[in-house]
Structure 1
Amino acid sequence: MGVAVDRIRKARRQKIVLSCSSVEDAKKIEERLKIRGADLKVAKPEMRLLTFIIRDVLKFNSDEDIVTSLRTQNRYLSEGLDWDKVRARVCYQRRARNDLECYSVLEVSAELYHRLIKTGFVYVELQRRPVCDQSPLVQCSRCLDYGHRKRFCKEVSERCAHCGGEHTGVICWARKEGEPPKCINCTKAGCEDTAHGAFSSECGVRAK
């Protein structure tokens, strides 16, 4: 079609996802597919909501109560935020150690998510509860890269999550010598901050 396609992958329900380097290329492909194939349906994918978890919330709070509390009890989140454009909903709840409490997992818009993670807590009714990331990232435990699991990994040797060497973390001499960690993913990506483990929540590649 005379346009650059960066990536093509199959998806569920007889769908194919095309990734382009520019909006103009995507528009050209969309227009030409609509002309050529009457049976083809072309649509832009919806932006995914980001997921976070609120720990140890009292069970008597309904899903609606939790979402309402986000909006009305946390003014530090609301400053400059257009709530008419913000999406937030409770996905599910997980059991906590205390039978009277639970972990609430929510999906929210990107801007609200980043504010919550940066602050690290949220008020729900009379409680001040910690929050943390719950994004469904897939990370390989062999090569430590993202996007696949160990069973689909093509690498032969395992990588250390502490130093990135070709060995497991159990026998890592750098860890035993007390040397600081070095993230293999941030090193490959050329990030300035590499002083963390490959599974760290502070990883720049993970955040991206």
Structure 2
Amino acid sequence: MHDESAYGLWSLVILNSAIFIFFAFSFVKPRTISDWRSLGAFSAFIVALFTEMYGFPLSIYFLSGWLTKYYPDVDFFAHDNGHLLHTLLGFEGNPHWDPLHIVSNLLIVMGFILLSSAWSVLHKAQQTRTLACTGWYARCRHPQYLAFILIMFGFLLQWPTIPTLVLFPILVLVYVRLAKREEQQALAEFGDAYRAYMHRTPAWFPKIKLHSAETKPEKTEEKP
């Protein structure tokens, strides 16, 4: 018999959704329409995730025939077995300590750190009506959207569901389109300065600065 109390916990759905959306809101501090759209897209993903994690396991019901056929001894309605990748990839033990879950937590933490750092730079630039090109904006042009993608991908690794798997590529496309729209606005406002910024800074994959050791001058023997 599976653990009936593992789901239907709608208070946890609301609480966890509110916590993560609040964290994102506190870092983003949305002011523009684009800010609110990006936060709204992220919020939809979070609500869908925690609804299946604690509310109603739609994906497990939908896949129950296939899962029971190939994994007859696994009770997928027990909450720990909701970590589908943990079972499907053959991991054993507590799913919260498997490699996927550890990588997931690292991606989520990295995403929130990146989000906080990127938006502080962006909002200072918005206040002074200058180009955001320092901090993480010196490494890639869209660190705020990259942060949202990292966080969502992190959650997918530990608790994949059909709705979030469908939502993820859609939301990535939403962020790409928002980024392109914002770049057109920046080109209109900053002109050649933004073109030069685009030329030296990649859009999505941060450039890593490798500091090579300076070449030391060769020593010469002094003649007596």
**TM tier, smaller:** under 0.3
Q: Between Structure 1 and Structure 2, which shows a larger proportion of strand residues?
A: 1
Q: Between Structure 1 and Structure 2, which shows a larger proportion of helix residues?
A: 2
TM-score by length of structure 2 reads 0.21
Higher relative contact order (CA 8 A, sep 6+): 2
- Radius of gyration: which is bigger? 2
TM-score by length of structure 1 reads 0.22
